[in-house]
Amino acid sequence: MSQPYVPTPRTRLVREADRAVYDREAAYRILDEGFLCHVGFVVDGQPFVIPTSYGRKDDSLYIHGSAASRMLRQLKDGVPVCVTVTLLDGLVLARSIFNHSMNYRSVVVLGKATLVDDPKEKVEALRLLSEHIIPGRWADSRQPNERELKATSVLRLPIEEFSAKVRSGPVVDDEADYSFPTWAGVVPLKMVAGTPIGDARLDPTIQVPPYVKRYSRSR
């Protein structure tokens, strides 16, 4: 079970502190709706930020990639990382350029990732990653073989030091700008799945599964 969370000096928001969310369950709802994160780390003084997919189980994030990748080679040695997930909900168009904004939900997790060595946990983590992105797909697909498992690394990052930040709602303009003659408001944005496109070599007797036909990131 998740434990109550108190932000650390590194995760306590200073700027726009009213947008801070330190509730663990609220942060997990954001993480569970997204599936793409950006992983930041430093190698020999050079910062890198790498996009990758992720999955969550309880109070841990799992990320994976090629065992030969720079990110996986560095992070398995316990290098400090910053993992960020952002969901964009809308463009906020104010009357002044200065007050334009976006409605969003984001989570930042700080910590050290460790390599998942246990074979059973590794396969379970890969299943969790697959199910996080598109529930139902793992059981319908060929499972990874030994060669593929050897070429893939999985890292576990405890969600111990984190913060979430949320901006929602209407335009906030300076009082003097409300009479400025231009349209102001919010352009809602959301991820919408298009019509599935079958592979060129797909057996024509195989139907589109329901989890593909009705795919959505809304939770």
pLDDT value for 20: 84
23 within 8 A of 2, measured Cβ to Cβ: no
133 within 8 A of 126, measured Cβ to Cβ: no
Distance of CA 151 to the CA centre of its chain: 24
How far apart are the C-alpha atoms of 145 and 134, rounded to whole Å? 21
Contacting residues for 75 by C-beta, under 8 A, at least 6 apart: 39, 41, 81, 113, 155
Which CATH number applies to 17-171+204-213? 2.30.110.10
Domain boundaries, the chain: 17-171+204-213
Render each residue's pLDDT in the chain as its tens digit; 219 residues. 445 578 888 888 878 878 888 899 999 999 999 999 999 988 888 899 999 999 999 999 999 877 677 777 777 677 789 999 999 999 999 999 999 999 999 999 999 988 898 999 999 999 999 999 999 999 999 999 999 999 998 999 999 999 999 999 999 999 999 999 999 999 999 999 999 999 999 999 999 999 999 999 875
Q: Which residue has the tokens 């990653």?
A: 129
pLDDT value for 1: 42
Here the tokens at position 98 are 């200065």
- Indicate whether this model's pTM tops 0.85: yes
Closest by CA to 190, choosing from 27, 31, 34, 29, is 34
